[in-house]
Amino acid sequence: MTSSGKYDVSILTEYDREVKNKEIKTVVGLDFAMNGLFVGSETGKRANYPRFYRQMLDKLAIEQRKLSRKKKGSSNWNKQRIRVAKIQEKAANQRKNFLHHKSKELASDFDAVVIEDLDMKAMSQALKFGRSISDNGWGIFTSFLKYKLKERGKQLVKIDKWFPSTKKCSCCGAKRPMKLSERIYECPCGHVADRDYNSAINIRNEGLRLLSLS
């Protein structure tokens, strides 16, 4: 608002302007990976996620044990509580910075990013997977990715979580059962690929199919 009591139209125009949808030419599929955040369909490479929280687990466990041995409410207890909180905060901030960087990179390089509509809460409750998924931060990552794409007029496409991305051959389309322990997808048609890379390609192809219908 100016001194005359009127709103500055130039400011309103800057923040309220409509973002034009960009023509979709480049599309990437991402397969969620607990040991690397994701595997992309364009190269098959992992995001090289540094497990900040796990790297600090030992240090955090030591400091938490110290905290448990101190009298709750005492001056020493409060100092130790702050020390533990700082370790947790540092890990969270490092993780958030990494997720911002990767989501910005994808939003800059591609017009549409395709992912599976995963139930992360259910996955985090699965046996032995809770800590890995918590450290991974996939939910935060996809939120960052969504708004970074949107502000550029680009799209985040979510495919059904039941889509058989893991079981389907990305070359011929045939399906076969895949055990969790199998890391290489081998199809009778002769196609051989890393399990997650094969899934990422299938996710991208399904996203392209959905985009063609919209």
Does the structure show a pLDDT above 50 at 11? no
Report if residue 5 sits inside a domain.
no
Assess whether 194 carries a catalytic annotation.
no
Domain count along the chain: 1
Range of the domain at 145: 27-213
Q: Is residue 7 part of a domain?
A: no
Higher pLDDT: 121 or 135? It is 121
State the pLDDT confidence band at 36, using cuts at 50, 70 and 90. confident
Active site residue 58: no
Task: Flag whether 202 is in a domain.
Answer: yes
Selected catalytic residue, list 63, 111, 135, 196: 196
Burial class of residue 56 in the structure, from the number of CB atoms within 10 Å of its CB (0-12 exposed, 13-18 middle, 19+ buried): middle
Q: Mean pLDDT throughout 206-211?
A: 97
- The question of whether 18 is a catalytic residue gets the answer no
Question: Which of 9-13, 73-77, 104-108, 209-213 shows the lowest per-residue confidence on average (mean pLDDT)?
Answer: 9-13
- Structural domain includes residue 188: yes
121, pLDDT greater than 90: no
Residue 131 covered by a domain: yes
CA dist 85 and 56 (Å) reads: 12
Q: Which of 63, 116, 135, 206 is catalytic?
A: 116
The closest alpha carbon to 186, from 204, 200, 201, 172, belongs to 172
| pLDDT for 191 beyond 70 | yes
